[in-house]
Structures are given as C-alpha cells and as structure tokens.
Amino acid sequence: MEVFPVIHTNFWDGVLAVPIVVILTQLVKLFTPLPRALIPTAALVIGLVLSIFYSHRQDLIAGIFMGFFYGYAAIGSYAASRNSWCAFKAKQRKKEHFR
C-alpha cells in the first residue's frame, strides 16, 4: 500500500492550471461581492474543484494534493506580482518627486 499518491505532472499542471486559477479568481473578485479577505480561500476552492473534477478525476488523493498546489501557487503568484508592481510604482513616484 502506497502512502503517498503517484502524481504525474504534465503541461497542464506545470503551465496552464495556475494561471487559469488566477484568472478565475480575478473574475470571482470582479463579479461577486466576496470580501477581500476571502479571495485567497476562493482561489483555493477553485484550485481544488479544477483539480478534483477535471485534471485528476481518476485519483481523489492526487486531486486534493494538486488542488492545494494550484490554489496556493495562484495565491503566491498573484501576491508576488502585486508586490513587485507596487514596489515598481513607488520607485517611479519617488524618482518623479526628485526631478
């Protein structure tokens, strides 16, 4: 009996799933009155649903594991991108202030 699931990653897992979760989360944020504090939870739920019911429907344990990966990777990617953008804009404003 295997303790850990055997998970075969492919192009979908590595390149497409996380951006799709980010896009769907942004659509949820745009079209629903969901509080900002619950947006990461929405990303996690979207990642789990996408993984369990689409990409890993043959194996529930693998679907749950990869769903958490999709959700948390989307949350981290969005947060890192937003922080980088905000830092860039702050640096630009500081440069313009001293001209």
Looking at the chain, the whole-number percentage of residues with pLDDT higher than 70 is 92
Helices (H), the chain: 11, 17-31, 39-50, 60-97
What is the count of structural domains for the chain? 1
- Please check whether residue 1 lies inside any domain of the structure: no
Smallest CA-to-CA distance from 71 within 39, 91, 43, 99 is with: 43
- Please check whether residue 5 lies inside any domain of the structure: no
- Please check whether residue 3 lies inside any domain of the structure: no
- Please check whether residue 6 lies inside any domain of the structure: no
- Please check whether residue 22 lies inside any domain of the structure: yes
- Please check whether residue 56 lies inside any domain of the structure: yes
Average pLDDT score over the chain: 89
pLDDT-derived band at 13 (thresholds 50, 70, 90) equals confident
| pLDDT, tens digit, 9 for 90 and up, residues 32-79 | 999 999 999 999 999 999 999 998 888 899 899 999 999 999 999 999
- Please check whether residue 38 lies inside any domain of the structure: yes
Cβ neighbour number for residue 50 with a 10 Å cutoff: 22
- pLDDT for 22: 95
Q: Residue 77 is part of which domain span? A: 12-97
- pLDDT for 90: 92
- Please check whether residue 57 lies inside any domain of the structure: yes
